[in-house]
A and B are shown apart, each in its own frame.
Chain A
Amino acid sequence: MSQYDELRECIISGKKARVGELTQQFLDEDKVAKEILDEGLIPGMAVVGKKFQEGEYFIPEMLLSARALNVGLDLLKPHLEASDVKPVATVVVGTVKGDIHDIGKNLVSIMLRGGGFEVIDAGVDVSPNKFVEMAKEANADIIGLSALLTTTMPSMLDTVQAFETDGMRDKVKIMIGGAPLTTEYAEKIGADGYAANASLAVEMAKKLVGV
């Protein structure tokens, strides 16, 4: 039994109020924020990802856990920043130009945050240059591109090329996801990886930054 078992379970079952209470309680007891994150919140979300992957959880359960996670993360954030704890990596995610479907991108953001990544959400209908700008601003390690429509898939290629044109391509890894996409398409446009769902996106992101 770990002292963080209940916190982890509350993440898994999406009990946001209890996650808030427990996280605050640990902080009040002078527990290190990084430890609360690494032993409570992140392992909880890893179980959520596994349950999603195995077909036990669906999107509503994942969103419920995410809501609970955010309560915990918000409480920990000032402490993590104060102690200069670095995230696993920084990811800029967005839905590409011409496309405003965002549920897939939002789920990927949730699972990446739950995996200890810093996520900057660029929103929807994001132009290639905007992705480059945001990547520079955030000093991003990974760019996550999302698309639902076949007609907007070419925007992914445009975005990859914008990073090349700007001389930024070697500084970031680019991963893609969305209904009509495949690993082959990722290879074809020169992206570094494809993930079929939000849970696999975390694994892919870790692989891309060698964690």
Chain B
Amino acid sequence: MTSKERVHAALKREPVDRVPIYMWYHPETTQELAELLEIPPERVVAAMGDDIRQKWVGGNYAMEGIVHEQEGGSHVDYWGIEWERIDRFNQITKYPLQNASREEILRYKYPYDKIEVLIKQMEPVLKQADDLFIGCDVSPCAFEMVYRLCSMDRALLNLAADTELSTKMLNDAGTFALTLAEIVCERFPIDWLWTGDDVAGQQRMMMNPQSWREIISPHLAGVVKVGKEKGLWVAHHCCGATRPVIPDLIEIGVDVLNPVQGNCPGMDPVELKEEYGADLAFMGGIDTQELLPNGSVNDVRRETEHLLDKMTAGGGGYILAASHTIPHETSIGNVFAMYEAAGVSREEIFDRASEIRSIK
């Protein structure tokens, strides 16, 4: 089975030779694996056997796609957001609309003139579209984009204090994501459209689920619809305790939910699988907050085996992944343990690395 066939089959709940895998690595973990496997960092996921390749063409490009070599390295993205590498992650140090007047906010323009540059990110992954499952990330789609522009405090306060302004900002964010989605779905042979919008914290949703339904969800729904109308799978990323709106996500057409943080209230992956598994596939669930950085190799293997057993019940609908980027402090042994539980041995990974070296 090619990776492309494997992921499609899993999403259709058809038989697969092994569970599909899609891990997100911190650049330092990638570097560590590259040294161990003696291959270039950009070939690590190929050696590991991951099935999906994806690029960010929206705001996430600025956060994840630009890697500063040194702490303190910074850049201002096309949206005017300033990012700085602090403790190994790009974090926002300046929100362009944090202190802007209402009029300035109303005048703010999204970087439509940069769309062609942004979607160029897809070129290298599209070369592998015959064998690999290809995704395109157009997120953040609505509220998350708004708070990257005006700060989380202001974006959240506006939801209660100035619904009109909130709606306008959400509409602008949603329209930009929708435009990106229309272009990439039309132009590229992708397998899924990746949407995302962080609206939940560790304990619960940031805003009342009813507010989300009324003023945020319609913008997200528009983006999802673009993918569905093109006959693509649509994946959706939202960290945290999103349980109250999972039925709504299914309703608007989301096929795959990520990252499934099992330690948040209501987010036990097995419970979610039982309740929503007929309509929704899942990607994620391997805990990045405690298990991966602090657990033993045996803990990780046992937990991954348990999750695979339960999450693939009913014929599939699961993609093995950590519940976000694998934290850089995770031991390489723990990384291999996840793959081993999925039937990808260390030997197989080293063999593939050796092939990669010989081709080079």
Residues of chain B within 8 A of A183, CB atoms compared: none
Cβ A58 vs Cβ B153 within 8 A = no
Interface status of A22 (Cβ within 8 A of chain B):
no
Residues of chain B within 8 A of A60, CB atoms compared: 156-161, 206-208, 211
Cβ B160 vs Cβ A100 within 8 A = no
Instruction: State how many angstroms separate the Cβ of B170 from the closest Cβ of chain A.
Output: 13
Say yes or no: A180-B289 contact (C-beta < 8 A), given A58-B208, A60-B160: yes
Cβ 8 A contact of A67, one of B88, B159, B161, B211: B161
Cβ A179 vs Cβ B289 within 8 A = yes
Distance between Cα atoms of A61 and B158 in the complex (Å): 10
Say yes or no: A55-B204 contact (C-beta < 8 A), given A103-B153, A106-B153, A149-B87: yes
Residues of chain A within 8 A of B293, CB atoms compared: 150
Q: What residue in chain A is nearest B93 (Cβ atoms)?
A: A100
Residues facing A in B54-96 (CB within 8 A) are 86-89, 91-93
Cβ A64 vs Cβ B160 within 8 A = yes
Interface status of B310 (Cβ within 8 A of chain A):
no
Residues of chain B within 8 A of A180, CB atoms compared: 202, 289-290
Q: How many B residues touch A, CB cutoff 8 Å?
A: 31
Instruction: State how many angstroms separate the Cβ of A40 from the closest Cβ of chain B.
Output: 21
Interface status of B258 (Cβ within 8 A of chain A):
no
Distance between Cα atoms of A5 and B28 in the complex (Å): 57
Distance between Cα atoms of A16 and B88 in the complex (Å): 40
Interface status of A63 (Cβ within 8 A of chain B):
yes
Q: What residue in chain A is nearest B329 (Cβ atoms)?
A: A151
Cβ B160 vs Cβ A61 within 8 A = yes
Distance between Cα atoms of A63 and B207 in the complex (Å): 11
Interface status of B288 (Cβ within 8 A of chain A):
yes
Contact with A along B320-350 (1 / 0, CB 8 A): 0000000111000000000000000000000
Cβ A150 vs Cβ B204 within 8 A = no
Residues of chain B within 8 A of A58, CB atoms compared: 204-208, 211
Cβ 8 A contact of A63, one of B153, B201, B208, B329: B153
Cβ B86 vs Cβ A98 within 8 A = yes
Contact with B along A77-101 (1 / 0, CB 8 A): 0000000000000000000011111
Task: Identify the interface centre among A149, A150, A180, A197: most chain B CB within 10 Å of its CB.
Answer: A150
Distance between Cα atoms of A197 and B88 in the complex (Å): 27
Say yes or no: A151-B328 contact (C-beta < 8 A), given A60-B160, A100-B86, A125-B86: yes
Residues of chain B within 8 A of A197, CB atoms compared: 203
Instruction: State how many angstroms separate the Cβ of A48 from the closest Cβ of chain B.
Output: 12
Interface status of A162 (Cβ within 8 A of chain B):
no
Distance between Cα atoms of A130 and B207 in the complex (Å): 33
Instruction: State how many angstroms separate the Cβ of A200 from the closest Cβ of chain B.
Output: 10
Residues of chain B within 8 A of A14, CB atoms compared: 160-161
Interface status of A196 (Cβ within 8 A of chain B):
yes
25 A-B pairs in the complex with CB atoms less than 8 angstroms apart: A55-B204, A58-B211, A60-B157, A60-B160, A60-B211, A63-B156, A63-B157, A64-B160, A67-B161, A98-B86, A99-B86, A99-B91, A102-B153, A103-B152, A103-B156, A150-B289, A150-B327, A150-B329, A151-B329, A179-B202, A180-B202, A180-B289, A180-B290, A196-B203, A197-B203
For the complex with contacts A63-B160, A104-B201, A180-B290, 19 further pairs of A-B residues with Cβ separation under 8 Å are A14-B161, A58-B207, A59-B156, A60-B161, A63-B157, A64-B160, A64-B161, A100-B86, A103-B153, A103-B156, A149-B89, A150-B288, A150-B289, A151-B87, A151-B89, A151-B328, A151-B329, A179-B202, A179-B289
